[in-house]
Amino acid sequence: MSTPPDQRQYHHGDLRTALLTAADRSVRAHGVAQLSLRDLAREIGVSHAAPRRHFPDRQSLLDALAENGYTRLGERIRAAVASGDDGFAPRLRRAASAFAHFATENPALLELMNAAKHRPGDSPVSRSADTAFAPLVDLIREGQDRHVLRAGPFEEIGLILYATMNGIATLINNGLVDATRLDDLTAAAVNQFLRGAAPHG
Amino acid sequence: MSTPPDQRQYHHGDLRTALLTAADRSVRAHGVAQLSLRDLAREIGVSHAAPRRHFPDRQSLLDALAENGYTRLGERIRAAVASGDDGFAPRLRRAASAFAHFATENPALLELMNAAKHRPGDSPVSRSADTAFAPLVDLIREGQDRHVLRAGPFEEIGLILYATMNGIATLINNGLVDATRLDDLTAAAVNQFLRGAAPHG
DNA sequence: GCCGAGATGTTGCCATTGACAACATAAGTA
DNA sequence: TACTTATGTTGTCAATGGCAACATCTCGGC
């Protein structure tokens, strides 16, 4: 009844997912530039043109990866923030740390997320990016509500924090800064963010 | 005596420079991914294999561009800092602004500078990167000396500021943030950097 | 002046790639 | 069952990066 185990079926079943999985692994191992659609097809065992049914071109595969990345990043930040009912500062630190580790554990993905040419207005990618921003912005707003942060444009402030963490991860991922400094830099960035570099009044 | 003006000479004269110039323009116009060595060769009017004499492979051309970028960025920051003998804060603002504008005027170059896989230890690229960091770190140290900044690990602090500006530029270059917000975000980032987000005292 | 070596360019070739078109097969549905 | 759509396949093309073999220029030592 059932097809012989090692006989290739005409239809793969879930090629799209298989492609994304294989692409993620390939990109992780060899970098974005090396990713080849034909390679993926070979690895999965389908013809070289099969991926085209799911991703019209190379970039759309990369976009899907990036989108997925933003989603996972958002979840991770959310989880970090929610993983304890302690004070504001510890939660902020956990959020920053979550970002930092996600970004350095997935260097190629971060590159993809940053490089995905986000069209004006809303593409799926930039919408998922907003989803990743959100928990950070929410956290800032909460800090302001609790008067642990000065009042101010929370979206802008969240953006700056996000940018800082993104920048740190970029420096580390490209070897401009030693990876062992990740946690120190993250902690220092959060401190900097909270109390500033100038001496107090 | 002299060669007829429109007769192609066997030797170009300064192919390396011509390649870098053409590559810069191409990358600026069509992005890094689209850059083709053969295209450059055609545009310059040499054979498709000529570039190989100056850049063994595509990546080394890109590395050279990145290196050049770091050099120019460093100069620009240095100039901004030196362009007035006023107080520390204004100079810091000018430095940040210089970075911001350089990075958003040269999006592809920034991508290149960030993506140039910096080898462990010192490649030409990472050495030129250090040269771009230097004026920022010097400025921080000066601020500390003048007690306008709290004492602290100036290299780390400079790195964090650099990361922040880098991150902001990345967000804007990829359309995640509207380009018109550049100056506001830069100013806000510097403020954040100086006085922090938390209420004083 | 000459000549030989190294630098710089050229031609020809190859495997790989992304993209496309035409065709084949499976799956779902009226 | 017959029609329609989704999903794969084969074949082809132009372009690319990289390599090897060959051509030409430049320059320094003699």
Domain A10-56 has CATH 1.10.10: yes
Q: CA of B91 to nearest chain A CA: how many angstroms apart? A: 15
CATH topology of domain B59-195: Tetracycline Repressor; domain 2 (1.10.357)
pLDDT band of residue A115 (cuts 50, 70, 90) is confident
Residue B33: how many CB atoms within 10 A of its CB? 15
Asked if A149's CB is within 8 angstroms of B192's CB, the reply is: no
Residue from A164, A162, A163, A144 nearest A153 by CA: A144
Q: Which fold has domain A57-195?
A: Tetracycline Repressor; domain 2 (1.10.357)
Which structure tokens are listed for B171? 């967000």
pLDDT in tens, B33-88: 999 999 999 999 999 999 999 999 999 999 999 999 999 999 999 999 999 878 99
B58: tokens are 């595509």
**For residue A46, what pLDDT band results from cuts at 50, 70 and 90?**
very high
Dump pLDDT digits (tens) for A155-194: 999 999 999 999 999 999 999 999 999 999 999 999 999 9
Confidence class for position A19, pLDDT limits 50, 70, 90: very high
B contacts of A164 (beta carbons < 8 Å) = 160, 163-164, 167
Q: Which of residues 32-61 of B touch strand D (CB under 7 A)?
A: 35-39, 48-49, 52, 56-59
- Interchain contact B82–A (C-beta under 8 A): no
SS3 content of chain B, % helix, strand, coil (to 5): 70, 0, 30
Cβ-nearest to B118 among A140, A174, A200: A174
Q: How confident is the model at residue A118 (pLDDT cuts 50, 70, 90)?
A: low
Q: Which residues of A touch B165 (CB under 8 A)?
A: 163, 167
Nearest Cβ partner of A166 from B126, B167, B192? B167
The ranges of chain B annotated as CATH 1.10.10 are: 12-56
CA–C1' gap, B1 and C4, in angstroms: 26
Q: Where, residue-wise, is CATH 1.10.357.10 in chain B?
A: 59-195
A141 touches chain B (CB under 8 A): no
> What crossing angle do the helices spanning A88-105 and A182-195 adopt, rounded to 10°?
140
pLDDT score at B86: 86
Query: CATH 1.10.10 occupies which residues in chain A?
Result: 10-56
CB neighbourhood size of B137 (10 A):
18
The CA distance from A119 to B116, in Å, is 25
Helices assigned H by DSSP within B83-153? 88-105, 107-115, 124-145
Report the alpha-carbon distance of residue A44 to residue B40 in Å, rounded. Answer: 36
| HSE-CB of A71 using CA atoms within 13 angstroms | 8
Q: In 10 A of CB A2, how many CB atoms?
A: 4
Mean pLDDT computed over A121-126: 79
User: What band does A6 get if pLDDT is binned at 50, 70 and 90?
Assistant: very low
Residue ranges of B 146-165 with Cβ closer than 8 A to chain A: 147-150, 152-153, 156-157, 159-160, 162-165
Architecture of domain B12-56: Orthogonal Bundle (1.10)
